[in-house]
Amino acid sequence: MTSLRPRSVYLDHAATTPMLPAAIEAMAAHLGRTGNASSLHGAGRAARRTVEESRETIAAALGAQPSEVVFTSGGTEADNLALKGLWWARLTEDPRRRRILLSGIEHHAVLDPAVWLGQHEGAEIEWLPVDELGRIRPDDVRRAIESAPETVSFVTVMMANNEVGTLQPIEEIAALAAEYGIPVHTDAVQAIGQVPVDFAALGVDALTVSAHKLGGPYGVGALVVHKETKLTPVQHGGGQERDVRSGTLDAPAIAGFAVAAEHSIADQPLESVRLTGLRDQLIKGVLETVDGAHLSGDPVGRLPGNAHLSFSGCEGDSLLLLLDARGIEVSTGSACNAGVAEPSHVLLAMGYDDQRARGSLRFTLGHTSSQADIDAVLENIGPVVERAQSAGLQNVGRNS
């Protein structure tokens, strides 16, 4: 029986982006090979060669030195290693360093380790304010530091927000923190491949990257750590990765990661222009088509592939499912929180009320996105919103 479902329109690249064909080829070429990169025999040395050549490729693409690239199982592990590793290293040097400065719009891979450190290790969590566009002001960071610089452990601010796409002034924040010798970590998972990212130029001490967000495989990522930054290991075992992150290295996945990083970053300047054009068409079309639609995030300083919109009188989950039934795949926010019946913590931190926070959709574009995808959204969004609003009014009537 033939399915009536139309061709899928995939606009959820912020959750994961389809693997690049070159990355698939690179990974597949290594899957049939045997060899532990820590072994000394020929097969082990071959696997080690794959890992080290990949490390060099990733470092060059990110403006880092190969020795600064520490492979992990993905962005979440890299964020945990950054926060916990910095916390324990700094505390060992000076027990007064108990303040962690971060914003309320961070990904849960950063928020949850920070909260855990507060609950179990005595960290003092200090929330940096964000404005209604999701922006963190360097002056607010400076004020927080200058209140008691000797007590600050580190600062962590994401480079680009995964929900509303707002870009942050990381280079400026890193420069002011450096005045006081305070390390800065940035989660750059959403930014790499969409905007220029140069580790050395940013001046941060640690930077998180995840392969599957830039056309590589799942289950591999890296924490780029400045050569002079001290980290306490979180995971112990065989002493791999400079004894910072123990564990057998996944050579095939790392090979795919390297190719994806090289291609996506090389293509970024032209791809950014293409995606910005498609994104702006989408935003303009939705705002003109749907009464009560509003753009979230910074209209100028945002990721080229991000369009985050809220719709009056609708539940985001209803909109998502109605669009999905028409073959259009989007999200209501972070995929890590899918199915959680709570409004987005990002939108609440930006000052949105509960209704607007719940009635939002995130459209995120990537290398497979096309004009036909935008046309499909604009053709369907009006009827879908009308149906969701009607269903919402009926539910209100039943409950009144």
Q: Give φ, ψ of 193 to 5 degrees.
A: 90, -15
Statement: residue 87 has pLDDT above 90 = yes
What is the rounded average pLDDT of the residues 58-70?
98
- Are 36 and 232 contacting, i.e. CB atoms less than 8 angstroms apart? no
**Given pLDDT bands bounded at 50, 70 and 90, which one contains residue 400?**
very low
The residue written with tokens 């090289």 in the block is 262
What is the rounded average pLDDT of the residues 183-207?
98
Question: In the prediction, which pLDDT does 395 show?
Answer: 52
Cα separation of 101 and 136, whole Å?
12
Tokens, residue 147: 């209140």
**Given pLDDT bands bounded at 50, 70 and 90, which one contains residue 153?**
very high
Domains of the chain and CATH, by start: 9-17+268-399 (3.90.1150.10), 21-263 (3.40.640.10)
Question: In the prediction, which pLDDT does 341 show?
Answer: 61
Statement: residue 2 has pLDDT above 80 = no
Question: In the prediction, which pLDDT does 391 show?
Answer: 75
Q: What is the CA radius of gyration of the chain?
A: 22
Which candidate in 28, 200, 273, 336 is catalytic? 336
Among residues 201, 202, 219, which one has the least CA distance to residue 210? 219
Question: In the prediction, which pLDDT does 158 show?
Answer: 98
Question: In the prediction, which pLDDT does 4 show?
Answer: 43
Out of 115-124, 201-210, 326-335, 366-375, which region has the weakest mean confidence (pLDDT)?
326-335
- 336 belongs to the catalytic site: yes
Q: Tally Cβ neighbours within 10 Å of residue 241.
A: 22
pLDDT digits (tens, 9 = 90+) for 330-362: 999 755 555 556 789 999 999 999 989 999 999
Cα separation of 21 and 373, whole Å?
20
pLDDT digits (tens, 9 = 90+) for 101-115: 999 999 999 999 999
For 335, which DSSP code? Answer: G
Tokens, residue 153: 């452990």
pLDDT digits (tens, 9 = 90+) for 261-274: 999 999 999 999 99
The residue written with tokens 């690249």 in the block is 13
Percent over 90 (pLDDT), the chain: 91
Amino acid at 316: G
Tokens, residue 397: 């009537």
Half-sphere exposure of 152 (CA within 13 A, CB side): 24
Cα separation of 35 and 6, whole Å?
44
Statement: residue 50 has pLDDT above 60 = yes
Cα separation of 62 and 224, whole Å?
9
Question: In the prediction, which pLDDT does 6 show?
Answer: 52
Question: In the prediction, which pLDDT does 342 show?
Answer: 79
Long-range CB contacts for residues 205-210, cutoff 8 Å, separation at least 24: 205/86, 205/154, 205/174, 205/229, 206/82, 206/86, 206/231, 207/62, 207/159, 208/75, 208/78, 208/79, 208/82, 208/109, 209/58, 209/62, 209/75, 209/78, 209/261, 210/74, 210/75, 210/78
Query: Which class for 115: exposed (0-12), middle (13-18), buried (19 or more C-beta within 10 A)?
Result: middle
User: What's the gap between Cα 389 and its chain centre?
Assistant: 31
Taking the CA atoms of residue 158, residue 160, residue 164 and residue 169 in that order, the dihedral angle to the nearest 10 degrees is 90
What is the rounded average pLDDT of the residues 37-66?
97
What is the rounded average pLDDT of the residues 239-248?
94
Out of 139-143, 365-369, 384-388, 396-400, which region has the weakest mean confidence (pLDDT)?
396-400
Tokens, residue 170: 């990381």
Q: Which residues of 46-77 are buried (b: 16+ CB within 10 A; e: fewer)?
A: bbbebbeebbebbbebbbbbeebbbbbbbbbb
pLDDT digits (tens, 9 = 90+) for 266-306: 999 999 999 999 999 999 999 999 999 999 999 999 999 99
What is the rounded average pLDDT of the residues 370-385?
97
Cα separation of 311 and 390, whole Å?
13
What is the rounded average pLDDT of the residues 223-249?
95
Q: Which residue has the higher pLDDT, 390 or 14?
A: 14
**Given pLDDT bands bounded at 50, 70 and 90, which one contains residue 5?**
very low
Question: In the prediction, which pLDDT does 396 show?
Answer: 42
The chain-wide mean pLDDT, for the chain, equals 94
Contact residues for 397 (Cβ-Cβ < 8 A; gap 6+): none
